[in-house]
Amino acid sequence: MIKQPKRLVLIGRSLGHSLSPTFQNAALQHAKLPLRYEALDIPASALDDAFQELSLEDGAGNVTVPHKQAVFARCDRLIPVAQRAGAVNTFWFERGELIGDNTDVAGFQAAVRQLLQREPSGLTVGLIGAGGAAAAVLAAVESWKGCKALVQNRTAERAIALCARFSSFAQPSDVDELAREADLVVNATTVGLRDSAFPVDPSRLRPSAIVLDLVYRRGETPWVKAVRARGLRAMDGLVMLIEQGAAAFERWFGFPPDRDAMWRAVH
């Protein structure tokens, strides 16, 4: 049982869009825990000072873009799923040691199960992106039976490097191949977060393709809406966000949060 944190934070950049404080504070209030979850906009140059301060305060929290891999490198100990993903999105301290976990993997698994209405198996996964979120996706897909992944990234070298870590089932791809072959298309980039751009044109996707956009916006992303308009099944990143947050809450406190309270807070 980890020591109950005395401060809870979200560390990242440009956090004005984040719903994490909204639903985490609802969960804390429902559990009658006397804490507030706060967003900290911190540049990379200030990460060391921030974690030193959090260590002294018995802090814990989440990490988002663009710091997941930088915090991974700073951890004294990593939970195996974070080690595999090469990225940390959840952290706490134990006896002064910084512990890193990755609950994005569990969040992604939950979102896919809800989208497919079954356990994922036998799928070709088209993955757009090669950062920390993409690595969490591949760490999940690795556990699925009979699946392979096609990875496309704007910088091809990053896709090649990521696939090398998951070479038994993942290979670099381009947009044409991905759109032509993928059963499940996952956007693990920030495309569509603050604009109306599409990671891939919906008209290029297979008629049977299913889409999961890890980006979330109030009222859903333009890409999800456009994909649905073509008659394809699609979901934005809100289920994954809530589920990774619920898993993080359970790591910090040793019991699950009230998910209904979390969902009510964001609707």
> What DSSP string runs through 17-61?
G--HHHHHHHHHHHTT----EEEEE--GGGHHHHHHHHHHTTEEE
Per-residue model confidence (pLDDT) at position 2:
63
Per-residue model confidence (pLDDT) at position 220:
92
Per-residue model confidence (pLDDT) at position 3:
75
Q: β-pairing, 148-152 with 170-172?
A: parallel
Q: Distance between terminal CA atoms of the chain?
A: 33
Closest CA to 134 of 168, 172, 99: 172
pLDDT digits (tens, 9 = 90+) for 113-151: 999 999 999 999 999 999 989 999 999 999 999 999 999
Per-residue model confidence (pLDDT) at position 45:
97
Reported pTM? 0.95
Distance of CA 172 to the CA centre of its chain: 21
Distance CA 130, CA 178 (A): 14
Per-residue model confidence (pLDDT) at position 214:
97
Q: Which residues are catalytic?
A: 68
Q: Which domains does the chain possess?
A: 7-102+244-266 (3.40.50.10860), 105-236 (3.40.50.720)
Per-residue model confidence (pLDDT) at position 219:
87
Q: pLDDT tens for the chain, 267 residues: list them.
A: 467 999 999 999 999 889 999 999 999 999 999 999 999 999 999 999 999 999 999 999 999 989 999 999 999 999 999 999 999 999 999 999 999 999 999 999 999 999 999 999 999 999 999 998 999 999 999 999 999 999 999 999 999 999 999 999 999 999 999 999 999 999 999 999 889 999 999 999 999 999 999 999 888 999 999 999 999 999 999 999 999 999 999 999 999 999 999 999 999
